[in-house]
DNA sequence: TTTTTATGTGCAATCGTTTCCGAAAAATTA
DNA sequence: TAATTTTTCGGAAACGATTGCACATAAAAA
């Protein structure tokens, strides 16, 4: 019931709290004999130092805050698994928040975290807004921040992404070479950093292949699955329907599948589909989905490694302002045959 | 740079720290005039009380620890989303850990949390072992614990599950009525609480329908997808193959799909499949999968609500030792037509 | 005017650690 | 043996917030 404290151990052993503390932290100024005694009792009583007292004193929490825009998403789950694999090894903890693709929530979470609850922050931003003042505020603090996937381009820190441009290009070329002449580019919101890069790859591929891009090929979708499906249905219902789809986000590929199934349009015979996706069961869809999948676990590991290094080593410089690219992998399946 | 503290505010305003603290906490013994002044300055400087100082003093962290056996899993993601939706409203934080279906890791995580880092724990245990002493240890502590889905039956607290027995029964009856005579029950490990209930429903349904159960219909699978697929392939390769499958876990249904696809056995013509699953795209599989899906979000909400109540209200009794059942929903699709 | 009461504020202790500083005891050197 | 250094430990002050208690001051009652 009554928590076991250092003071209690000290009293039991007829030592000063300072001595016990030092013994537990294996300080060189404590004799081996007393160290043994202290460790033995601590072990016996299953002593765990109070993390909050320690945090208060040391001015660090051994906790990293993570903000993602969506939790029910294989990509983000894998990223967090990757992070946890390294943070746990270093005794760090992960506080994970879901901003639900909502800038307002993101702002609230950020202000929660800024109070000193975490030593560092990892985030994938909900919207790539111009007015990201809540993120800019972070600059004034000395809390290290790292971005991944959906990054804030003008915030000076390290960002982890995949080769969005190249792979957007590659996916588009693939569709064209399969015979597509009119390809839709589906994006979630026109303002995400990676979406923009993927779109750039898309456009450049069209140009390279001498297909003239038309503005209405870019479909800006919402976060509502139902709305997206309805929108796509209306598009595919027309006579001069597209014959290819590059979905920049998994959920849009699924919306496409649903829309095409409702309108009885066949994949890949009538429309070929390629999607960015980290789904593990892309091969079990009907038809199996051609994917561009991101190295999610690895991205998580890298984010965590970088922060742990910054937090645990002495005299580390500020996080370098650069973009680290980890390549995605393209897997061809039935949906684009 | 220098953190803003209550002491700093007090100095700026020519007040005592205690007065500032009381003003911020809206104490009745502070005049409205000074309250205004304090609040104004706090607002202006964007003051956030140090959470660790507060935790130390108040002996509570406003943090709940969550342990799940797997993160890349829609069910658990939904549960956590549900929890977060209520904890955030009350200013509580979520520390989430993945035990990776491993009792050893679970034990380590638990001992991390026990040090007072969290005010309460929510968990879905990795294995239903007899020797769950690491969980029993929690009893001695006064940290409230709640279980969900994979519960520890003999630990006296509130547990949230779904009507595993009924729905296992229902799924089996469904398969039988579709004409199945030899049905496999796929479980992840023979020792999970919910698996056992589902199996009981399975057996009772067979009995009810006058089908004699055979022990080798219960397949205990591992956590390796590849092994499971190979195992299932070998089973379906035989002549007297089963004509139905009830998968107690989503990943086993997927393994079944893969195994059947490799052996060129048709679903549902040759084998009908029903699975417990919270996949959102069960309808996009080939063929669409008949599912029993758990009310994951709601389970998360209920866990959190219960704990928040226990933690925020005065003089709350210990968590009642009972099982709360929230029903699953059965959705028939092509895979069991 | 004096006494009582209500109101507003400050002082100091506390939560459990870590660490600076100093001091005794032991070991080394002169 | 005396002087010096090294080893080992204790005292006390932090870290930043909350809160019991005391003490002013002003308002109300006698």
The yes-or-no verdict on residue B129 having pLDDT over 90 is no
pLDDT in tens, B199-226: 999 999 999 999 999 999 999 999 888 9
- Would you state the structure tokens that stand for residue A143, as one six-digit string? 């809390």
CATH topology of domain A164-293: Rossmann fold (3.40.50)
Q: Which residue's CA lies closest to nucleotide D15 at its C1' atom?
A: A57
Contact indicator for B256, B248 with CB cutoff of 8 Å? no
Residue B232 burial by CB count (10 A; 0-12/13-18/19+): exposed, middle or buried? Answer: buried
Q: Which residues pair with B120 in a beta bridge?
A: B64
**In the prediction, which pLDDT does B1 show?**
36
Q: Report the interhelical angle of B17-24 vs B6-13 (nearest 10°).
A: 110
Confidence band, pLDDT 50/70/90 cuts, at residue B190 = low
Residues 6+ apart with CB under 8 A from B23: B30, B34, B35, B37, B38, B39
Integer Rg of chain B from CA: 26
Quick check: A287 and B286 CB within 8 A? yes
State the Cα–Cα distance between residues B333 and B267, nearest whole angstrom. 11
Structure tokens at B235: 């089973």
Pairing state between β B244-247 and A93-98:
unpaired
Domain range annotation of chain A = 6-49, 58-161+296-327, 164-293
Q: Is the CB of B16 under 7 A from strand C?
A: yes
Q: DSSP characters for B161-198? A: E--HHHHHHHHHHHHHHTT-SSEEEEES-TT-HHHHHH
A50 at the B interface (CB within 8 A)?
yes
Distance, CA of B71 to CA of A94 (rounded, Å): 13
* Ordered DSSP codes for B254-280: HHHHHHHHHTT--TTTT-EEEEE---T
- Mean pLDDT calculated for residue range A152-156: 88
Alpha-carbon distances of A41 from A5, A10, A47, A172, rounded to whole Å:
12, 10, 8, 66
Return the number of other C-beta atoms located less than 10 Å from residue B133's C-beta. 9
Mean pLDDT taken over chain B: 92
pLDDT digits (tens, 9 = 90+) for B265-324: 999 999 999 999 999 999 999 899 999 999 999 999 999 999 999 999 888 899 999 999
Angle (CA) A274-A279-A283 rounded to 5° is: 70
Residue pLDDT, tens place only, A307-320: 999 999 888 899 99
Is B149:B324 a contact under the CB 8 Å cutoff? no
Q: Do domains A6-49 and A58-161+296-327 have the same CATH topology?
A: no
pLDDT (mean) for B183-194: 85
Nucleotides of D under 7 A from a protein CB: 7-20
Determine whether the distance from the CB of B51 to the nearest atom of strand D is below 7 Å: no
A268: phi then psi, degrees, rounded to nearest 5: -95, 0
Are A119 and A316 in contact, with CB atoms under 8 Å apart? no
State both tokens at B71: 């993160």
Query: CA-based Rg of chain A, rounded to a whole angstrom?
Result: 26
Rounded to the nearest 10 degrees, how much is the dihedral formed by the CA atoms of A17, A23, A24, A28? 130
Nucleotide with the nearest C1' to B115 CA: C16
| Confidence band for A1, pLDDT divided at 50, 70 and 90 | very low
CA dihedral A54, A56, A62, A68 (to 10 degrees): 150
Query: Nearest nucleotide to B57 by CA–C1' distance?
Result: C15
% residues pLDDT > 70 (chain B): 98
Does residue B16 register a pLDDT over 80? yes
How many helices (H) and strands (E) in chain A?
A: 12, 12
Which H helix or E strand runs over A146? strand A145-148
A 98-137 residues with CB < 8 A to B: 98, 111-112, 114-117
Q: Is B51 close to A116, i.e. CB distance below 8 A?
A: yes
Q: How far is the CA of A121 from the C1' of D11 (A)?
A: 39
pLDDT in tens, A62-98: 999 999 999 999 999 999 999 999 999 999 999 999 9
- End-to-end alpha carbon distance in chain B: 65
User: What's the CA A245/C1' D30 distance, rounded, in angstroms?
Assistant: 91
A94 vs B93: CB contact, 8 Å cut-off? no
Among residues B28, B75, B7, which one has the least CA distance to residue B293? B75
Of the candidates B296, B301, B242, the one whose C-alpha atom is nearest the C-alpha of residue B274 is: B242
Confidence check: pLDDT of A2 > 70: no
Q: What is the mean pLDDT of residues B191-199?
A: 86
Residue A301 confidence (pLDDT)? 98
Closest residue, chain B, to A257 (C-alpha) = B284
Q: Which residues sit opposite A153 in a β-bridge?
A: none
Q: Do the chains contact at A3 and B116, CB–CB below 8 Å?
A: yes
Provide φ and ψ at B244, rounded to 5°: -155, 150
If we measure between CA atoms, which residue out of A70, A84, A26 comes closest to residue A300?
A84
Residue of higher predicted confidence among A306 and B14: A306
Among candidates B71, B95, B281 on the partner chain, residue whose Cβ is nearest the Cβ of A77: B71
* pLDDT at site A239: 81
* Count of H-run helices and E-run strands, chain B: 12, 12
Write out pLDDT tens, residues B24-37: 998 888 888 888 88
Give the C-alpha separation, B85 to B92, whole Å.
Answer: 10
> Which residues of chain B are within 8 Å of residue A115 when distances are taken between CB atoms?
48-51
pLDDT at B174 (0 to 100): 97
Q: Is the CB of B18 under 7 A from strand D?
A: yes
DSSP lists the bridge partners of residue A183 as: A244
Angle of the A6-13 helix axis to the A17-24 helix axis, nearest 10 = 110
- State percent of chain A over pLDDT 90: 79
pLDDT for B131 beyond 70? no
CA torsion sign for B106, B124, B83, B122 is negative
Look at residues B96, B151, B145 and name the one whose alpha carbon lies nearest to residue B125: B151
**φ, ψ dihedrals at A118, nearest 5°:** -125, 155
What does the pLDDT look like over A182-220, one tens digit per residue? 999 999 876 688 888 999 999 999 999 999 999 999 999
- Contact check, Cβ <8 Å, A287/B287: no
Residue B281 CB lies within 7 Å of the nucleic strand C = no
Q: Which residue has the tokens 């561009």?
A: A292
Supply the pLDDT for residue B286: 87
* Nearest protein residue to nucleotide C18, judged by CA and C1' positions: A57
Q: Which of residues 179-238 of A touch B (CB under 8 A)?
A: none
B9 vs B20: CA distance, rounded Å: 7
Residues 6+ apart with CB under 8 A from B266: B260
| CATH code, residues A6-49 | 1.10.260
Q: Is the CB of B22 under 7 A from strand C?
A: yes
Please give the backbone phi and psi of residue A274, each rounded to the nearest 5 degrees, phi first. Answer: -130, 140
- Residue among B94, B96, B285 minimizing CB distance to A286: B285
The Cα–Cα gap between B105 and B69 comes to: 10
The answer to whether the CB atoms of B96 and A96 lie below 8 A apart is yes
Cβ–Cβ of A50/B116 closer than 8 Å?
yes
The reply to whether the CB atom of residue B287 sits less than 7 A from any atom in nucleic acid chain D is: no
Asked: is A58-161+296-327 a CATH 3.40.50.2300 domain? The reply is: yes
CATH match of B58-162+296-326 with 3.40.50.2300: yes
CA distance B273 to B266: 11
Check residue B120 and give its pLDDT: 96
- Given strand B329-331, what is the order of strands in its sheet? B218-220, B183-187, B244-247, B272-276, B290-293, B329-331
What angle (nearest 5°) sits at the alpha carbon of residue B134, between those of residues B128 and B135?
Answer: 60
- Cα–Cα distance for residue pair B10/B87, rounded to 1 Å: 31
């Amino acid at each position: 019931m009554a928590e076991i404290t250092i003071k209690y151990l000290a009293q039991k052993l007829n030592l000063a709290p300072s001595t016990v503390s030092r013994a537990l932290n294996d300080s060189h100024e404590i004799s081996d004999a007393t160290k043994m005694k202290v460790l033995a009792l601590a072990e016996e009583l299953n002593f765990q130092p109070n993390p909050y007292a320690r945090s208060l004193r040391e001015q660090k929490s051994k906790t990293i805050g993570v903000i993602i825009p969506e939790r029910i998403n294989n990509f983000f789950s894998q990223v967090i698994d990757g992070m946890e694999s390294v943070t746990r090894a270093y005794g760090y903890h992960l506080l994970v928040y879901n901003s639900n693709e909502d800038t307002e929530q993101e702002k609230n979470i950020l202000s929660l975290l800024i109070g000193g609850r975490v030593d560092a922050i990892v985030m994938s931003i909900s919207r790539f807004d111009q007015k990201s003042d809540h993120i800019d505020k972070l600059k004034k603090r000395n809390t290290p921040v790292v971005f991944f996937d959906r990054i804030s381009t003008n915030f000076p820190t390290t960002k982890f992404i995949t080769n969005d441009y190249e792979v957007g290009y590659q996916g588009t070329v693939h569709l064209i070479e399969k015979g597509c002449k009119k390809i839709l580019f589906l994006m979630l919101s026109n303002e995400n950093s990676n979406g923009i890069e993927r779109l750039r790859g898309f456009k450049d591929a069209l140009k390279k292949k001498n297909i003239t891009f038309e503005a209405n090929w870019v479909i800006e979708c919402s976060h509502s699955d139902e709305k997206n499906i309805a929108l796509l249905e209306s598009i595919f219902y027309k006579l001069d329907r597209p014959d290819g789809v590059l979905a920049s986000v998994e959920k849009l590929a699924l919306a496409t599948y649903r829309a095409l199934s409702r309108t009885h349009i066949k994949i890949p015979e009538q429309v070929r589909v390629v999607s960015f996706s980290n789904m593990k069961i892309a091969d079990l869809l009907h038809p199996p989905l051609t994917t561009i999948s991101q190295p999610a676990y690895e991205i998580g590991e890298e984010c965590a490694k970088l922060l742990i290094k910054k937090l645990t080593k002495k005299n580390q410089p500020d996080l370098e302002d650069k973009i680290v690219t980890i390549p995605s992998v393209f897997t061809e399946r039935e949906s684009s045959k």
